Amino acid sequence: MPDEKSEHEGTWLQWPHGYTYGEDYKKGIEHIWIKMASSLSEGEKVHIVAYNQAEKEKINKMLTSQELNMNMIDFFIVPTDDVWARDNGPIFVYDRNKNLKIWDPGFNGWGKKTPFAQDALLRERLSRELSMERIDSHHLVIEGGAIELDGNGTFLSTRSSVVNKNRNPDLSEAEIENDLGSLGVTNFIWLDGVPGADITDFHIDGFAKFYDKSTIITFSENDLAEWGLSAKDIKTLLNAKNASGESYKYVYLPLSQNKVTLENGETLDYKGSYANFYIGNTVVLVPNYNDPHDKTANDIIQKLYTERKVVGIDARELYKDGGMIHCVTQQQPAIGDHGL
């Protein structure tokens, strides 16, 4: 599986619609998708999954009116339940012969918490649309946001979101590791996580991200504790070793200074994470919260990715439903950039 910062052919977005949660839900978050599509289309294709033909036409009209380069946008009409492309969108991998394929693990609505019948079929349907071979791994239920790979054989995740009876009741941790070996993984770093802490059961991409094979981007020890990690998990994360047995270096992002306040004035009971950012070809999309720490986090990330432009995106209306920018994006690697 190629690293996220490797060159992309494009980025996949599942456009919000009103068929699951209503039109008010769609209207409240659609501005985020417009900003993502606009920023990403400057450096790569943007592949938009639209619920039906009517939705496609609405999206096309909207983006055209925003003066996006529509030559960089294409559409795939496939019904979805939700917007979380990281978790149920196409996950692109290479086989041993360097052929690009879609890896298709099972998806069950984060342990059957939400409607998921359409999303569970999304990768299969897109593989037919793309005429791309699909690797059927439905026996293993795992979301893209539950896993972090360092591009050098190391896997980082939480047991609460993977080795959980609401995902994989019949698989042991060892059996799951054996399955994940197909992604080129040789070194496993498991945190216990926190079952039920949020809808994802504590996805790793909310608080930790590999920068490269020797560096992890995360929070300070105090902020990790505030995020909900146990002392044991903090110790495991901050003392992790890579596949070569070397200790990782760490870059620390802040949490938002304040608990996140929505546009309507309602304050959520938690702070915002900046670790859930997405790396495009020419931009890095960073969740922002109309908070004093937005600039601090954006500046730290800009120094890490000097050849890309950091774009802060107000993610508050999405965040109230449990996700941020990385959660709603999925990269398609460029042909020839084979990663692992």
Helix (H), strand (E) at residue 62: helix 53-65
All structural domains of the chain, each given as residue ranges with its CATH number in brackets, are: 8-333 (3.75.10.10)
CA distance 75 to 48: 5
Does position 22 have pLDDT exceeding 90, yes or no? yes
Burial class (CB in 10 A: 0-12, 13-18, 19+), 221: middle
Does position 336 have pLDDT exceeding 70, yes or no? no
Helix (H), strand (E) at residue 331: strand 330-333
Does position 340 have pLDDT exceeding 60, yes or no? no
CA distance 182 to 187: 13
| pLDDT, tens digit, 9 for 90 and up, residues 304-318 | 999 999 999 999 999
Among 329, 280, 322, smallest CA distance to 87 is for 329
Average pLDDT over residues 228-245: 98
Average pLDDT, the chain: 96
DSSP state, 324?
A: -
Does position 220 have pLDDT exceeding 90, yes or no? yes
Does position 226 have pLDDT exceeding 80, yes or no? yes
| pLDDT, tens digit, 9 for 90 and up, residues 87-96 | 999 999 988 8
Three-state SS for 313? strand
Q: What is the pTM of this model?
A: 0.97
CA distance 215 to 217: 7
| pLDDT, tens digit, 9 for 90 and up, residues 74-89 | 999 999 999 999 999 9
